[in-house]
Amino acid sequence: MFTPLVCINRTLTTATRCKRRVVVTGIGIICPLGITVKNSWDALINCKSGVTKLTEPDYDKLPCRIGALVPKGNGPNELNINTRFTKSELRTMCPATAYALIAAENALNDAIWKPKNDADKQSTGVAVGVGMVDLVDVCRTYEALTKGYHKVSPYFVPRILPNMAAGQISIKYGFRGPNHCVSTACATGAHAIGDAFRFIRGGETSVMVAGGAEACINPLAIAAFCRLRALSTSKNDCPSKASRPFDKDRDGFVMGEGAAILVLEELNHALDREAKIYAEVLGYGLSGDAVHLTAPSEDGSGAILAMDRAVKDAGIKTMEITFVNAHATSTPLGDAIEVKAIESFMGEHSKNVTVSSTKGAHGHLLGAAGNLEAAFTVLAIKEGIIPPTLNLDNLDVETSLNFACNKRKTWNSASRLVALKNAFGFGGTNACLCFAQYHE
């Protein structure tokens, strides 16, 4: 028998849903595994790792000297932002905004949606968040101030505002629908997608460009997270083995960077223009732990509430879910609590559910984690493949749940494929998204 970790009111009826359905019609990815959707997905399902050594001298004395960087350069799977933007453009934006702009362009090209008329521009919105401001920019600007007032860039404030990724995307394409920024730590990207989903479902707009971006791998950020004892420090000489979600030898997360953008669209709008459909967004749930600044609630109640609300919002039964893309960052406390929360929520159905965390391959992208992993969840649905959890050699929790340990799994279901995507952040903020195969 399963003993629930927290009492959920099962007598509540599922939420009354607006008739407007929402689908994913475009994806753009810039991440440690690659700079296109195809390269990133192929690397993920073939068990490649994007974690590398941080070689700059400033990292030498830090406990953690590894990170998951976007591949830089001029190669076919590398990014050189200097060739994507002019010098004057780069002065107005931080690297995270640059990543978001590139990922958004790729997603819009994928969706074949770059409207020219005012009506379409007015019905297209943007919901893109950033988890942390550019700390290096802040430090350098303060140093500039010591040399004189006029050394401070007039673009400093726009560069560090979290909503500027959303603003820059909106300005570039003339999108005048909802312009929204979420900044909820490591739940940022998932919240952005969920809010965008609600804007469309509620009738406020027809198309949303949604996701998150992060680019804060620098000595100060690494040092700060090390002081929190959040980062992996035991695998500096073997970076690809450092991020180990659910594994008994995990000792912290690996910081990553990048951006992922989804184009969400009202179903009839997508059908009318014969857009390809990756998957359908069914539901969105939010909750707060209300316990601690950085640690999740020990009973998993926040995670359970978020999953429960997403499933109720989707109007489905728990037994329809067969895959959970977990938040699992590779921290000793968080991973174990999430496993227990998922099993408590799924109950006897746990034996039919596979859990995976793609962070084993690409590290933890902080504010861009939930959206990157949502993109991979959508691709899993489209391809019928559950991506692997790298470095999961020894599960340290007794559970009835299934895991994709070090290799991908074929995803079969008697009906349609349905998945949950969890994302949790400091401050006790939780989000859960429900995706499914699109069926007419």
Q: What is the DSSP letter of 70?
A: P
CB contact burial 245-259 (16+ within 10 A = b; e otherwise): bbbeebbbbbbbbbb
| Residue 186 falls in the annotated catalytic set | yes
3-state secondary structure 361-386: HHCECHHHHHHHHHHHHHHHHHHCEE
Instruction: Read off the tokens for 270.
Output: 């997508």
Distance CA 195, CA 22 (A): 12
User: Contact at 8 Å (CB) between 65 and 53?
Assistant: yes
Task: Give the residue among 238, 221, 218 at the shortest CA–CA distance from 230.
Answer: 221
Distance CA 100, CA 356 (A): 26
User: Contact at 8 Å (CB) between 366 and 255?
Assistant: yes
Instruction: Read off the tokens for 298.
Output: 């020990």
Question: Cα angle at 406 between 401 and 412, to 5 degrees?
Answer: 55
Helix H or strand E segment including 393 = none
Distance CA 68, CA 301 (A): 31
**Catalytic annotation, pick one of 349, 364, 432, 434:** 364
Distance CA 78, CA 120 (A): 33
Q: Locate tokens 């329809």: which residue?
A: 320
| Residue 191 falls in the annotated catalytic set | no
Backbone angles phi, psi at 225, to 5 degrees: -70, -30
| Residue 349 falls in the annotated catalytic set | no
**Catalytic annotation, pick one of 94, 181, 186, 216:** 186
**Catalytic annotation, pick one of 269, 327, 349, 362:** 327
User: Contact at 8 Å (CB) between 73 and 261?
Assistant: no
Could you tell me the maximum CA-CA distance found in the chain, to the nearest angstrom? 69
The residues annotated as belonging to the active site are 186, 327, 364
